[in-house]
Chain A
Amino acid sequence: MVEIQALSIEQLLALRPLAVTIIAVLIIMMLALWQSKWPSLLVALSASAFVVIDSLSGAGTVSVFGLQFDVLSRIVSALTGFAAFVTFLVSFRYLDQKKEQHPEYQILLLLSLAGMQLMNAAADLMLLFIGIELMSLSIYVLVAFARSRRACCEAAIKYFLLGSVASAFFLYGMSFIFGATGSLAFTALAKANGYLGYLGIGLLTVGFLFKMGAPPFQMWVPDVYEGAMVPLTGFMASAVKAASVFAFVRVLTSCTMPDYFWDLIRFAAIAAIFLGNAVALTQTRLKRFFAYSSIAHTGYMLLGILGGSSSAIIVYLVVYSVASLGVFSILTLMSGPDDSLLTSLESAGFGRRHPVLGGLMSLFVLSLSGMPPLAGFFGKYQLFVFLQDRTLVLFAMLASTLGLAAYVRLLINFYMKEPIGVMSRVRTPVGAFFALSLVLGLMLHMSFFPDALIRLISGL
């Protein structure tokens, strides 16, 4: 018999960010009646801002029902909240241009944010599954948001079908673990050994590898990243990937796996790094290019998982997400009315026409490529410095030269090629400018004062 304890005050307080998100969703639904776009944006912004601030100010570990709010989960919730905040700001003008300005966009995004918070804090597999499904389903719909465009629908249906098959596998794995240990709590995972337990965790891994976009299940990443709307791709590349990676880390840290399992992860990491960087070299469309580079970064995170220290992975997550948020925000501004600028041919010489945006893009791209002064390098350095498997690290560094080649090709394209014909002047709206400066500030802070980030993660 499961008796229900009374909820203490700080348990309730721990639930505050989740509650605020849900309440915001309800308010926006009501506001939808007035057909004015501003209030729903404001509510969404304040909700996500609240999530960020509240998560950062929380302390200690609190466990409520099946959730366990500890330091790391708060950081990732804050990160996802920040991603949502920036996505709202950046996509506001974008939706006007695409004439798709409906309040449902904010609702679905907030719902996915709520799902992610559930995932981050989950201590029970079923709650984790509910969080994953809540996030995924709202993202499926968001991908198909611009119903009229063929690419969106195609990407959405692909993402939906593959996603739901992966969830089915995930669920099936959960049932095996339930069979092996009798409960779905993370604490029970440690006892999940023998046929049933390992098979169950194997299936869980299938689900997670799909959600993170790591090979052998990364077929969907390029198509969906290219099909979806640009701000949404940014949100997926940063927040969705961060939440799923963090969930995978929490599951793996709480279960003891035999060596051959880690070889599987090692294979996935190597495949991701090599595939991501190599294919990125051949891409001409910018969105597809950054899709492959995100696969490569998933590979680095998998490598981090092998290293064992989860705080190092979180630091890398934060650094990567911030950089990719920045990149995709600029892509959103670049895309303009008809997504024309997003191919390397048309975007040649972009840096010369728009020095400020070009400069920001170079900064974010250099951070992604791991160029020293910026946060990307620091992320990679602290991820690998305590990794025992040196040959793997050497391989990762050498494969990142392929990545560097791809990024440098992009810089060359931006600065050293002559623009073809007249390039439409890109105006940066106030909201987007504020979001970009926020992202830039965060990244530069992490570049020059990285110890603050580490203290935040370990200390809190």
Chain B
Amino acid sequence: MQLAFLCFLPFLASIFNGFWYLFAKKPWKMAAGVVSTLALFTSFCLASALAFHDVTFSLPWIATGSFELPFVLRLDHLSSIFVLVITGVGTLIHIYATVYMAHDSGIQKFFAYLSLFCGSMLVLVLGGSLPILFCGWEGVGLCSYLLISFWFDDSEKAKAGAKAFIVNRIGDVGFLLGMFVLFQACGSLDIETLTHAQLSPTTVLIACSLLFFACTGKSAQIPLYIWLPDAMAGPTPVSALIHAATMVTSGVYLVTRLHVLFDAAESLHIVMATVGGVTAFVAATIALVQDDIKKVLAYSTVSQLGYLFLACGVGAYEAAVFHVVTHAFFKALLFLAAGSVIHGMDGEQNMWKMGGLKKAMPVTFATFTLGWLAICGIPPFSGFFSKDEILFHTFTSGHTGLWALGLVTACMTAFYMTRLYIVTFLGTKHTHAHESSWGMLAPLCVLACLSALGGIFGHMISHTLAFHAEAESSQLEWILMLVSACIAGLGIALAFFMYDESRQPIRARIQKQYGWLSTALAHAWYVDEAIDLVLLKPLRQIYGFVWRTIDVLCIDGFIMLLASGGRASGDVLRLIQPGFLHISIACMVMGAFFIMGYMVYGQL
């Protein structure tokens, strides 16, 4: 019963805040945030109480004839990890957001959407059957749309929200089709029965590739990643919670949840791995030249997600889950720190306008440093352990090419994160910025600790998953650890070398020489413009064309033809009504002769 309570609590908070926003007159600023945070915190406590126990909760939902679709929530080992991450990091972000959004007029609406999101995310993670998971899947897509276009006065932000929703929907269609294939094959959509069912390899392959396509939509992989960078239009806590910690990892959750099916689809593994690796690499290249803090972090999220799918591709599901957990910690930390920087700089997001914030915002600086070290993969911190685990498994599973790609991406990650770190915090420029209040800094510190210690703590949790027998070859592992640590160090050193104040002329020369490359990277390889040119413009033509020709021209034209035909025949027949007497008599006599002739002729 607590499971249901855990899942539905955020929904209740969302409804409460929604009604309060629509109908109450005098909003008390902080109340909405407090309500949502409390709700999520109680969910967190319930989750930690129930952690790692197998609990199921079921309500009858749709039941027509033989087809039974109950609303099933199932908590097991894997989903409890995700639930803990969602509720834990979620609560911290809620606290942060209560202060961050304090001055915004639509704060109840914001927290209504935020609680709705957490509720849907819990439904997704706890969903016992694929349709319930799909409900959470689309609910999360809806909330990301609502939250991205939260500041809807600026139509650019509204368009970004719509773009995110539509790209997600494209993925969701893949999810739907995958479900239908599975249902047709084994007659039920419950995850338990699916994992134990004997399915022919082709159906499994088709279903898994469709589901993978859906994951690329939700977790922003190569074909459908274009929406994540634009999703930064939403408020920073939203970016932190949705587009860093929770929603984007739902794709990985789906793959790990159905890992038995995905294992059976061998030819899909290499595809997943390469998509993951390539996405990681491409996103990292784009992040090198971004000027907006949040854009850098967005592309770094895309590349870290690439790592996750690389891990899933090579079958290292525990490593993937481990990296999800650690990534949630340090990426949320980085986003929140960036948020407090933006808050301090009164909304300024371009990092070149910042600099030397070390002195102005010491706590934010300290927590950001921890986060920075974690993401670069420096040994004691969590990022190192999880990323190294993935690279280790990629190497042992024989995909050395992908391992090398992963390594290069790790180096680039270290490089651009350090570039961000230096430009915003170090340097001699004295930009005036006020440090955020403790309401925002407390979550930062907690997250900083988690991302620091997360490595050891997370390692222990993910190993308990133990999907496969762990072949401990320690000697090879130590070498690879060493290699990846050096790579990270190299990246950092390179960045320090490049972005020191004194190196300005060298940077200018490189800029001049490889100008075309940096502009291409700045425009994210012109992917958006390409899609717009190749896909969207012709589609718009088609819509207009279809309406004008088929609807207006063909069907209406045909009907108007019929109608005017009826009228025209009326006019013609009217003309043969002779007004003149003698013509009438002549017609009559002719008619009579015709009939007489007909009668005689008929007789022959």
Contact = CB atoms under 8 A, between A and B. Distances in A.
Task: Consider the complex of A and B and state whether they touch directly, i.e. have CB atoms less than 8 Å apart.
Answer: yes
Interface of A: 157-158, 161-162, 165-166, 169, 194-195, 198-199, 201-203, 205-206, 210, 216-217, 219-220, 222-223, 258, 260-261, 264, 274-275, 278-283, 402, 405
Nearest to B593: A206
Contact of A162 (B574, B585, B595, B598): B585
A194 B602 CA distance: 11
B467 interface: no
B6 to A, nearest CB: 59
B599 A199 contact: yes
Interface string B572-604: 011001110100110111011011101110110
B575 to A, nearest CB: 10
A425 B426 CA distance: 95
Report whether over half of chain A's contact residues are helix, strand or loop; otherwise say mixed. Answer: helix
Interface stretch (B176-184, B392-400, B562-570): B562-570
Contacts of B598: 202, 260, 264
B154 interface: no
A199 B569 contact: no
B563 to A, nearest CB: 8
Contacts of B569: 274, 278
Contacts of A166: 588
A280 B573 CA distance: 10
Contact of B577 (A222, A260, A274, A280): A222
The 5 closest A-B pairs by CB, nearest first: A202-B599, A216-B591, A260-B602, A282-B570, A278-B570
A206 B591 CA distance: 8
Given A158-B584, A220-B584, A278-B566, 9 more contacts: A165-B589, A194-B603, A195-B600, A199-B599, A219-B578, A219-B587, A260-B598, A278-B569, A281-B567
Given A202-B598, A278-B569, A278-B570, A158 B588 contact: no
Interface in B70-90: none
Nearest to A399: B566
Residue in B577, B584, B587, B592 whose Cβ sees the most chain A Cβ within 10 Å: B592
Contacts of A165: 585, 588-589
Contacts of B574: 279, 282-283
Contact of A195 (B577, B592, B603): B603
Residue among B570, B602, B603 having the largest count of chain A Cβ atoms under 10 Å: B570
B602 A281 contact: no
Nearest to B571: A282
Given A169-B592, A279-B574, A405-B566, A198 B587 contact: no
B588 A198 contact: no
Contacts of A199: 596, 599-600
Contacts of A216: 587, 591, 594
Nearest to A219: B584
A294 B419 CA distance: 93
A211 to B, nearest CB: 12
Nearest to B582: A161
14 contacts: A195-B600, A199-B596, A202-B596, A203-B596, A206-B595, A206-B596, A260-B598, A260-B602, A278-B566, A279-B570, A281-B567, A282-B567, A282-B571, A402-B566
Q: Which one of B567, B570, B573, B599 has the highest number of Cβ atoms from chain A below 10 Å of its Cβ?
A: B599
Interface in B526-570: 563, 566-567, 569-570
Contacts of B579: 223
A201 B603 CA distance: 13
A217 B574 CA distance: 14
Contacts of B570: 278-282, 402
Given A275-B573, A281-B567, A162 B599 contact: no
A366 B53 CA distance: 73
A217 to B, nearest CB: 6
B266 to A, nearest CB: 61
A166 to B, nearest CB: 7
Interface residues of B, number: 27
A330 to B, nearest CB: 24
Contacts of A282: 567, 570-571, 574
Contacts of A220: 584
A402 B568 CA distance: 12
Contacts of B589: 165
Contacts of B566: 278, 281, 402, 405
B602 A198 contact: yes
Contact of A261 (B585, B594, B602): B602
A104 B317 CA distance: 109
Nearest to B587: A219
B584 A205 contact: no
Given A199-B596, A261-B602, A279-B574, A161 B591 contact: no
A293 B530 CA distance: 65
B579 to A, nearest CB: 7
B581 A157 contact: yes
B573 A278 contact: yes
Contacts of A162: 584-585, 588
Contacts of B599: 198-199, 201-202, 261
Nearest to A207: B592
A394 B391 CA distance: 76
Nearest to B600: A199
A203 B597 CA distance: 10
Contacts of A195: 600, 603
Given A281-B566, A281-B567, A282-B574, A202 B584 contact: no
A219 B595 contact: no
A219 B588 contact: yes
Given A195-B603, A219-B577, A261-B602, A161 B585 contact: yes
Contact of B595 (A161, A202, A258): A202
Given A202-B596, A279-B573, A158 B581 contact: yes
B559 to A, nearest CB: 12
A203 B566 CA distance: 33
Contacts of A201: 599
A279 B585 CA distance: 21
A405 B569 CA distance: 14
A264 B602 CA distance: 10
B41 to A, nearest CB: 64
Contacts of B596: 199, 202-203, 206
A223 to B, nearest CB: 7
Contacts of A281: 566-567, 570
A210 B585 CA distance: 12
B307 to A, nearest CB: 68
A295 to B, nearest CB: 10
Contacts of B563: 405
A194 B570 CA distance: 40
A161 B570 CA distance: 27
Which residue among A199, A210, A280 has the maximum number of chain B CB atoms within 10 Å of its CB? A199
B585 A258 contact: no
A223 B571 CA distance: 16
A196 to B, nearest CB: 10
B571 to A, nearest CB: 5
Given A261-B602, A282-B571, A161 B592 contact: no
A157 B582 CA distance: 12
A260 B567 CA distance: 32
A169 B588 CA distance: 11
Given A199-B599, A202-B598, A223-B579, A217 B591 contact: yes
A154 to B, nearest CB: 8
Contacts of B602: 198, 258, 260-261
Contacts of B603: 194-195, 198, 258
Contacts of A274: 569
Given A219-B584, A261-B599, A206 B573 contact: no
A380 B585 CA distance: 33
Given A158-B581, A261-B602, A264-B595, A210 B588 contact: yes
A281 B570 CA distance: 6
A299 to B, nearest CB: 13
A166 B584 CA distance: 12
A282 B574 CA distance: 8
